[in-house]
Amino acid sequence: MTSSATRAPTKTAQPRRRAARLASAPVILEAAATLFLRNGYLGTSVDDIAALAHVSKQTVYTHFADKEQLFAALIRGNISRVDTFIESVTAVLGETNALQDDVRTFARRHVRAVLQPEAVHLRRLVIGEAGRFPDLAREYYERVPQRVIAALAQQLRRLAERGLLRIQEPSLAANHLAWLILGPPLDAAMFGADGENYAPADLDALADAAVDVFLAAYR
């Protein structure tokens, strides 16, 4: 009787442990993000990630075959966030009846999104590891900055069709607008030259000035 009573908890404990391991992927990714962004790829080990996530190394390997796969999952998980921003581009510029105000709204959202510390650190990480992961860096480039430019170009084309802008090459115009908005603050942020210390009002002022220059050329 004693022997069967001691065996029963073991049978139920194993599925619980297995379920806990399977549910731990988000915690592992969060720990990996913290360490990769802080220490880089080479400066981070699977042991470090497991320790910060408070899981065993075997649990990490339950979800990710190796550190390389974990790194790729982290980058691709952040890539998906651009969809929300692209939707906001369409919402703001799609049917505007107040061109300058709405382009300014887009510009302010754009610079604030790109200058978030986490976004800046991720961009540095992707660029820093581009030699080791060229395909992943190319994927990030095509699915993040280039997708935003393509969405912006589409909206600028529609604004030109409505007679609100004078544009012959929407993609070129989209690149002009994006870099007028992002150029100085992003360059400073990427090199750690106080780029992450812009106050929101300063970013808004930079965005507004960029829009004024853009509209002076294209309106």
Q: How is 76-136 classified by DSSP, letter by letter?
A: HHHHTTHHHHHHHHHHHHTT-SSHHHHHHHHHHHHHHHHTSHHHHHHHHHHHHTTTT-HHH
Least confident of 16-20, 165-169, 213-217: 16-20
How sure is the predictor about 196, in pLDDT bands with cuts at 50, 70 and 90? Answer: low
- Give the HSE-up count for residue 129: Cα atoms under 13 Å, Cβ half-sphere: 23
Determine the Cα–Cα distance for residues 65 and 159; give it in Å rounded to an integer: 48
Better-scored residue on pLDDT, 189 or 16: 189
Q: Which amino acid is at 205?
A: A
Residues in contact with 96: Cβ distance below 8 Å, sequence separation at least 6, in sequence order: 102, 103, 159, 164
Output the pLDDT for position 171. 97
The superfamily (CATH) of domain 2-66 is Homeodomain-like (1.10.10.60)
Q: Where are the domains of the chain?
A: 2-66, 80-218
Give yes or no for residue 58 having a pLDDT over 80: yes
Q: Which helix (H) or strand (E) holds 14?
A: helix 2-22
- Chain centroid, CA 42 distance in Å: 21
Determine the Cα–Cα distance for residues 25 and 196; give it in Å rounded to an integer: 30
- Chain centroid, CA 195 distance in Å: 17
Q: Each residue of 84-121: pLDDT tens digit?
A: 888 888 888 988 999 999 999 999 999 999 998 888 98
Rounded to two decimals, the pTM is: 0.81
Determine the Cα–Cα distance for residues 167 and 202; give it in Å rounded to an integer: 29
Determine the Cα–Cα distance for residues 5 and 187; give it in Å rounded to an integer: 66
The CATH number of the structural domain formed by 80-218 is: 1.10.357.10
How sure is the predictor about 16, in pLDDT bands with cuts at 50, 70 and 90? Answer: very low
